[in-house]
Structure 1
Amino acid sequence: MADAAFTPRVFSGIKPSGGLTLGNYLGAIKRFVGMQGGDFETIYCVVDMHAVTVWQNPDDLRTATREVAAGYLASGIDPSKSILFNQSRVSAHAELGWLFNCVARVGWMNRMTQFKDKAGKNSEQVSLGLYAYPSLMAADILAYHATHVPVGEDQKQHVELTRDIAKKFNHDYKVDFFPETTPVIEGPAMRVMNLRDGTKKMSKSGESDMERVNMLDDADTIAKKFKKSRSDQDVLPDSMDGLADRAEARNLVNIYAALADISNDAVLAEYGGQGWGKFKPALADLAVEKLAPISGEMRRFMDDPAEIDRIMAHGADKARAIAEPILNKTFDIMGFVR
């Protein structure tokens, strides 16, 4: 099916399960901001229903939801240019998620590598929601007939599942109703890695706070974490080929490039042949310059939770106006008496 039949529309979301990190910013939010006001209608969500696939303390969930929204706003998501809301305010996500549970096949779900990673050896004890959440993710996207989803490489499989669900629905009901959404994967630091172990993704659930940069960290903490980040004994090379087997070094170069909006090659053109004693302080200064204003603005928003809630409620009204007609048409196509 050609996407030309659909309004060019971007949807993406971040799960509120802990605090925002530099990985969330460079891998997602910074890109979301860049897509505003362009060729797409942009819809950005705090996917709080995905968070409860594992147990959440209710007060912590409320705080984390507002923190993600504050991160969006502080980074430059403009509610006058994008729709910003939290998922649970728009019931079409849950309703369409159930309908897609009845379209998706168990075999498709069994192939989802993220479920295997998260469940581990305890797969019989995890929630049904954790198993089925890729179907809800498909509903998040298709409730808005989203044509494009900016994702990291680790989420590409879920967008492919969304395409499979759309194709099967269209085929089974002989309609051209849901678009086959395109994943948008780009950017030098799409997968930001741990500052202490470059083979692991930066995570809010890591053992040490020094492994990650939190978006609420102050300037001194940001600088300290980069200056103490793990590197190696060798100088920086002149090309990325020289970083093939140097995970920590490659990660720091990627982060510098993403923060500075330049290519990895441009970073190495400036710092190739130089040691970490020069590069790490330069990276720390750049990170403070780019991130400290965002963390300060986030704290300002977090001090006014009523304003965050007002913005998300207004965004939910606009989201509902798009999603409800699509949901109702889905019910009609499937034969429900409404």
Structure 2
Amino acid sequence: RRQSWDYRVGPHSMASTPSRLVVLSLLCAGLFLVCLTLQSPMIASSSRGTQVIRRLVRPMIPAMMPRSSPIGSRGGPRAFCDAVGSKDKPERRKRVLSGVQPTGTIHLGNYLGAIKQWVDNQDKYENFFCVVDLHAITVPHVPKELKESIIKTAGLYIACGIDPSKSKIFVQSHVSAHAELTWLLNCATPLNWLERMIQFKEKARKQGDSVSVALLDYPVLMASDILLYQADLVPVGEDQRQHLELTRDIARRFNDQYCKGNQAKKLRGTSRPVFKEPEALMAKGAARIMSLDDGTNKMSKSAPSDLSRINLLDTADQIREKIKKCKTDSIKGIEYDNPDRPEATNLLNIYSQATGAPVEDLLNEVESKSWGEFKPLVADALVEQLKPIREKYNEVTKDPEILAGVLEDGAAAANEVASTTHLWAKEAMGFIPPGKVRETLVAPTKKKEKVA
């Protein structure tokens, strides 16, 4: 006959059977010890440990619970067991890698098209932002100016709002794995893939016979930058999409060649791919900022005339002078998206980005104005927008220790991630990792002994 378990004194109560009390006491003590064990970080963080504890706890609890609290009811034993180790783990944030070349100075187009997006997404992603100085030497440069530009670019990252406590800021050449991985990827990249790059063709046409091998290899270095950090997302504009697709192709080709099959498993102990294929992170709501002296060309650091761009460190007077002298037309009124009036469209985009107001609203306000009336509005809005950046930059660069500390910490964090990926790539290709020479020499000997 099935006896009921309750806490009343009677013929079928626990109190009437001393042996049951002993068993129950032991079970309670055991459960208490289990609960204490769950406080251990090692156990709590281990899914395997959690499963073991669940298997131990489940059989104990029914004997200690009244029949009125069936297993599986809300708050009953199953709820307790399922709660063991079920603490939600924070979801891993996607990783972003991006950078700007330290050639010239960062201008309005760089800020609105890239850096402002980095700042806005800081809390959303895990970020690595580098000053890509290795890319800067793919074209002729002045060494002294390069040094100054590296510091200036890093300082402007912070001045624009990148928080070193949220994002890693570092100099590309301070992480040697960038250059080393580039060579490994070169050996896995067909030449014709690089020759069809549109940017290479355009720049090679301008440079003529002086074009360097490095300019051809630029996309492989860019692929190395991205793949080293296992980046999930890469902020790119339309002009960089082809390079990102090449990065994905290189990653796929490397993984196919070196990370599949039994041979790969013997070398690395796994046949999992070394590289992650990144996705493009397209800027939302960011207008393309064009040159001030030609509304059909993008604002560029390499343009010969400084009047063609608004530099982030330009003074208020310089900004007003550049806007005043920027190219316009003789047509009365301001229009937007008229292919025959690209300069009007460009200035409206700049005005919209500087004020934060939609173009449509601004157009209603200024469409009847002359250029002489409209340009001062744009200049004043830009002066107000860039003033905090100039002030923050002066503050950051006043004390060398601030910037030096940020770059050193950033390089250390970047090296930690990059060196791991670099090692995986070398192992996949058959290189002997440092410190594993003896292990490599001993392994064949052991195999021969086993065969014998």
Ranges of 4+ aligned residues in structure 1 off by more than 6 Å:
none
CA contact (8 A) 1:6 1:145 kept: no
Amino acid at match of 1:18: G
**Which of 276, 282, 285 pairs up with 2:380?**
285
Partner of 1:127: 212
CA contact (8 A) 1:75 1:294 kept: yes
Partner of 1:313: 408
Shift of 1:264: 2.8
Shift of 1:6: 8.5
Partner of 2:302: 205
Q: TM-score, normalised by structure 2?
A: 0.69
**Which of 391, 410, 427 pairs up with 1:296?**
391
**Which of 59, 63, 72 pairs up with 2:148?**
63
Q: Structure 1 residues 16, 227: CA separation in 2 closer, same or farther (over 3 Å shift)?
A: same
Matched, 1:228 2:325: yes
Q: Distance in 2 between matches of 1:37 and 1:12?
A: 16
Matched, 1:184 2:319: no
Whose Rg is larger?
2
CA contact (8 A) 1:189 1:254 kept: no
CA contact (8 A) 1:7 1:147 kept: no
Matched, 1:144 2:229: yes
Q: Residues 1-338 of structure 1: matches in 2 within 5 Å? A: 8-38=94-124, 40-120=125-205, 122-173=207-258, 174=260, 175-232=272-329, 233-237=331-335, 240-241=336-337, 243-338=338-433
Q: Distance in 1 between matches of 2:412 and 2:365?
A: 48
Amino acid at match of 1:203: S
Q: Deviations over 1:203-247 (max 9, x none)?
A: 22323222111111111211222233222223123xx44x23211
Larger mean CA deviation between 206-215 and 292-301 belongs to 292-301
SS in 2 for 1:297: helix
SS in 2 for 1:56: coil
Q: Distance in 2 between matches of 1:22 and 1:266?
A: 22
Q: Structure 1 residues 6, 337: CA separation in 2 closer, same or farther (over 3 Å shift)?
A: farther
SS in 2 for 1:318: helix
Q: Distance in 1 between matches of 2:396 and 2:198?
A: 36
Q: Structure 1 residues 223, 217: CA separation in 2 closer, same or farther (over 3 Å shift)?
A: same
Give the share of equivalent positions with the same residue, in percent.
Answer: 47
CA contact (8 A) 2:236 2:280 kept: yes
Q: Distance in 1 between matches of 2:92 and 2:252?
A: 15
Shift of 1:149: 0.9
SS in 2 for 1:196: coil
Q: Deviations over 1:225-277 (max 9, x none)?
A: 2233222223123xx44x23211111111112222334333332433333323
Amino acid at match of 2:273: D
Q: Distance in 2 between matches of 1:306 and 1:49?
A: 24
Shift of 1:75: 0.5
Work out which structure has the larger RCO, using CA pairs closer than 8 Å and 6 or more positions apart in sequence. 1
Q: Deviations over 1:53-85 (max 9, x none)?
A: 123222211100011111111000000000000
Aligned residues: 330
CA contact (8 A) 2:274 2:421 kept: no
Q: TM-score, normalised by structure 1?
A: 0.91
Q: Distance in 2 between matches of 1:185 and 1:320?
A: 27
Q: Structure 1 residues 122, 289: CA separation in 2 closer, same or farther (over 3 Å shift)?
A: closer
SS in 1 for 2:210: coil
Please tell me the root mean square deviation across aligned C-alpha atoms, in Å: 2.0
Amino acid at match of 1:275: S
